[in-house]
Chain A
Amino acid sequence: MKRAILDRLVADRAADRPVALATDLESGLQSLIYEGDTHGDFVLDSDILATARQALRDDRSAIVEAAGRRIFLQVHNPALRLILVGAVHIAQALAPMARLAGYAVTVIDPRRSFATEARFPDMALLTDWPDEAMERLALDGRTAVVTLTHDPKLDDPALQAALRSPAFYIGALGSRKTHAARLERLRAAGVGDTDLARIHGGPVGLPLGGRSPAEIALSVLAQITTVLHRAGSTQGHAA
């Protein structure tokens, strides 16, 4: 691999720019394929370009054969994202767990006593109102959202913002009773049943039986993982 290709690939990843690296397995020649253009010394025909762009949308690296050549397409999509609303105890466990699982994590909480660097070292923290923050974050089909505050003033607008997006997972912490009350409030606010059914809650997470913040975080991450892979491809919704 040419150093220039590696450096460019690293820059693309830092900029969250989807890119496929095409490698001719015989010659070792490589090119980068973007949604709109290409870069590199390996000239690709339109069939390969179309296959590479489909691979990007499917988030799937694979070998393709064309004109007697074997080409490996390696897909580099931006990291999956997890938005946590509520800088609470469970978030302190869930944020680092999700980061290990490959998610870029953002924690939102306007309550500045919760959203502190000391409680969330080295984590992206926003102290805006959740719905405003989420509009700005432009949630896509590779994003998961979990509300954790227990406070309807924060959770409800966040859930409504999440439901307006193609987020692949939306979860809301709360008991069966809390969740039923939440669904009633959202319904009264005009949210339809199809949208309400997108919310995992009452309770959120897979039933692992745990009660501690870390155990609940694990059950939520387990459910996010299940939903991600049940959907097969997380693309399709991606902008």
Chain B
Amino acid sequence: MTATAEAILEQAADWRAAGKGVALATVIGTWGSSPRPAGSQLAVDDSGAMIGSVSGGCIEGAVVLEAIEAIKDGKPRLLEFGVTDEQAWEVGLACGGKVQVYVEAVE
């Protein structure tokens, strides 16, 4: 792939090659008006630096925290976000969609 703005996996590989802990978060399913389609990715390093996105900025904060946990324990996680009740505003999708995100550490 020639240089484009979406070099997320490339950045993840570079971080890992530099000895950093790295996790990948991937949108695997969406319902309703979720902002990013399945396949969209966010890479996170162990300091919390991130590249890419899994929403319009609504859930990245929570996903980064889970990603850092995944880097620590090596276990993949399946997260689900959506406006299911009033409380969901804190880490939910303001647009009313629902999204499933798979988070995995790079070994």
| A interface residues, Cβ below 8 angstroms from B | 1-3, 6-7, 9-10, 13-14, 16, 23, 25, 28, 60-63, 72, 74-75, 78-79, 99-100, 102-105, 122, 124
In the complex, are the beta carbons of A104 and B2 less than 8 A apart? yes
* B13 contacts the other chain (CB 8 A): yes
- Give residues of chain B (1-50) contacting chain A, Cβ–Cβ below 8 Å: 1-6, 9-10, 12-13, 16, 24, 26, 28-29, 37-39
User: Contacts of A99 on B, CB cut-off 8 Å?
Assistant: 3-5
User: Contacts of A104 on B, CB cut-off 8 Å?
Assistant: 1-4
**In which size bucket is the chain B interface?**
20 to 34
Cα A104 to Cα B28 in complex, Å, equals 26
Given A7-B13, A10-B13, A75-B39; A2-B1 close (CB under 8 Å): no
Give, as a whole number of angstroms, the nearest-CB distance from B106 to chain A: 5
Given A25-B102, A28-B76, A61-B38; A14-B13 close (CB under 8 Å): no
Listed from nearest, the 8 A-B pairs whose CB atoms lie closest are A61-B39, A104-B2, A28-B76, A72-B28, A61-B38, A13-B1, A10-B13, A79-B1
In the complex, are the beta carbons of B107 and A1 less than 8 A apart? yes
User: Contacts of B1 on A, CB cut-off 8 Å?
Assistant: 13-14, 16, 78-79, 104
In the complex, are the beta carbons of B9 and A25 less than 8 A apart? no
* B105 contacts the other chain (CB 8 A): yes
Cα A14 to Cα B13 in complex, Å, equals 13
In the complex, are the beta carbons of A79 and B4 less than 8 A apart? yes
11 additional A-B residue pairs with CB within 8 Å, beyond A16-B1, A74-B39: A2-B107, A3-B16, A3-B107, A10-B10, A23-B104, A28-B104, A61-B38, A63-B38, A72-B38, A99-B5, A124-B2
Cα A197 to Cα B50 in complex, Å, equals 45
User: Contacts of B65 on A, CB cut-off 8 Å?
Assistant: none
* B78 contacts the other chain (CB 8 A): yes
Nearest residue (CB) in B for A13 is B1
Partner of B102, one of A60, A72, A105: A72
Given A10-B10, A13-B10, A74-B39; A1-B4 close (CB under 8 Å): no
User: Contacts of A78 on B, CB cut-off 8 Å?
Assistant: 1
